[in-house]
Amino acid sequence: MANVKNASIREIIIDRCLQAKGGRTVQQIMKACNDALDLHGYRLITSPNTIRDDFVAIENRWHTVIETRRSGRYIYYSYRDPDFSIFKIPLSEEDITKVYGALEVMERFKGQAGFSWIEELSAHLRTSLHMGKNPESYISYDDNAQLRGMQYFAQLHEYIRSHQPIVVEYCPYVNPAPMEETIHPYFLKQYNSRWFLLGYNPKYKGITNFALDRINAIHKANVKFIPNKKYDFEDYYKNVIGVSIESPNDPVEEIMLEVDGQQYQYVSSKPLHPSQHLIRYKENGNAIISLHVIPNFELKQTILSYGKRMTVLQPEHLVNEMREEFQEIMKNYQSTQFE
């Protein structure tokens, strides 16, 4: 449609007018559109030609016919099919398949506090679209339904949306005693089937993350909200694996890894990080790869998960850290006694 900035609002209003008994004149439709546009704060239409262009766009897009009827000096416009509406067009099989997929994604949150509306919406869609019960499920997610802290998800989502500062009571792994922090919540991030809250912590003048499964309680803080004017979290996490960043000013380093030849087939299909690239193959079939990331806890845990099939070649400080980790692992096994 012409003048696309407010075209969706016009399309809704024009559709209603074209369904009206006896039709509507261009001037009547233009006034109805301007009333709606004014309500939403959009610029008003100043030319009847905009409405006429919209008629053509609707006919071409929805394969319908808008006919005219003259009564005296006025011309009235209406759909040739009195039962037609652009909002009554049946979905194709492909469209219904897409709706099923969207429902499966939404239903991941079904049963969680604050998300009861998902079940209502799902039932409404299935009834309205005559979908019935989906005979097959095509998607499975690696979710832990018993994961602690998920009862706070909807509450945190609302606090982020409404810019509400909060006090978080939580138990860090290093100290089981409960602690409290005032946080200005900005973002929710999932990693390794766990959810994390990220927000500005005035105490540290930076971003702090909290695993939801370590949170004991949340309540509103009576302080002025500090808006997020600095952090783009997609960019914030661009150079890390996981969620741990000691300082966003830490340098990105080139991490060189040697990967067992057979294991590389898996690592190449599921990269450790988007920056991963193959440098070369060794004569023994092993692959040398590199990552450009900020070293953190999750990076080391990922490397450890591959055991002997992955070795750090550089930087030197990471080689030494991994060597110390494996030495501690060896001590554990050397002291293991069977009962």
Q: What is the CATH number of the domain that holds 268?
A: 3.30.70
* 136 and 156 housed in the same domain: no
Q: What tokens does 327 get?
A: 């030495």
* 133 and 203 housed in the same domain: no
* Average pLDDT rounded to a whole number, residues 3-31: 86
* 202 and 227 housed in the same domain: yes
Tens of pLDDT, residue by residue over 97-138, are 666 666 666 666 665 555 655 665 666 566 555 555 454 555
* 273 and 222 housed in the same domain: no
Tens of pLDDT, residue by residue over 134-151, are 545 555 555 555 567 777
Supply the pTM of this predicted model: 0.57
Cα dist. 145→107, 210, 241 in Å?
12, 19, 24
Tens of pLDDT, residue by residue over 191-210, are 887 889 999 999 988 898 89
What's the number of domains the chain is made of? Answer: 4
* 163 and 107 housed in the same domain: no
Tell me the torsion sign for CA atoms 46, 52, 58, 64: positive
Confidence band, pLDDT 50/70/90 cuts, at residue 91: low
Q: What CATH number does residue 174 fall under?
A: 2.30.30
Indicate if the pLDDT at residue 1 is higher than 50.
Answer: no
Give the structural domain span for 192.
150-236
Range with lowest mean pLDDT among 224-233, 243-252, 281-290: 243-252
- What is the pLDDT of the chain when averaged over all its residues? 83
Domain annotation covers residue 85? no
Q: What is the pLDDT at residue 135?
A: 45
Indicate if the pLDDT at residue 31 is higher than 70.
Answer: yes
Domain annotation covers residue 136? yes
Query: How many CB atoms lie under 10 A from the CB of residue 287?
Result: 19
Domain annotation covers residue 241? no
Confidence band, pLDDT 50/70/90 cuts, at residue 171: confident
The conformation of residue 167, written as its DSSP 8-state character, comes to E
Q: What CATH number does residue 51 fall under?
A: 1.10.10.10
Q: What is the pLDDT at residue 105?
A: 63
Of 141, 159, 176, the position where a domain reaches its end is 141
Residue spans of alpha helices (H) in 40-168: 48-62, 93-106, 116-128, 153-162
Alpha-carbon distance of 158 to 164, in angstroms, equals: 8
Of 124, 141, 158, the position where a domain reaches its end is 141
% residues pLDDT > 90 (the chain): 46
Domain annotation covers residue 267? yes
In terms of Cβ atoms closer than 10 Å to its own Cβ (0-12, 13-18, 19+), residue 29 is: buried
* 126 and 155 housed in the same domain: no
Find tokens 């808006």 and name the residue. 227
Domain annotation covers residue 330? yes
Q: Which helix (H) or strand (E) holds 287?
A: strand 287-293
* Average pLDDT rounded to a whole number, residues 315-333: 91
Domain annotation covers residue 73? yes
* 94 and 73 housed in the same domain: no
Tens of pLDDT, residue by residue over 39-79, are 777 788 899 999 999 999 999 988 899 999 999 999 999 99
Query: What dihedral angle (degrees, nearest 10) is formed by the CA atoms of 303, 304, 307, 312?
Result: 50
Q: Which helix (H) or strand (E) holds 324?
A: helix 316-334
* 277 and 322 housed in the same domain: yes
Domain annotation covers residue 10? yes
Domain annotation covers residue 285? yes
* 94 and 168 housed in the same domain: no
Find tokens 């100043």 and name the residue. 46
* 131 and 156 housed in the same domain: no
Of 79, 100, 129, the position where a domain reaches its end is 79
Pairwise pLDDT comparison (244 vs 97), residue with the higher score: 244
Confidence band, pLDDT 50/70/90 cuts, at residue 89: low
Tens of pLDDT, residue by residue over 265-315, are 999 999 999 999 999 999 999 999 999 999 999 999 999 999 999 999 999
* 121 and 181 housed in the same domain: no
Alpha-carbon distance of 104 to 110, in angstroms, equals: 10
Confidence band, pLDDT 50/70/90 cuts, at residue 2: very low
* 131 and 178 housed in the same domain: no
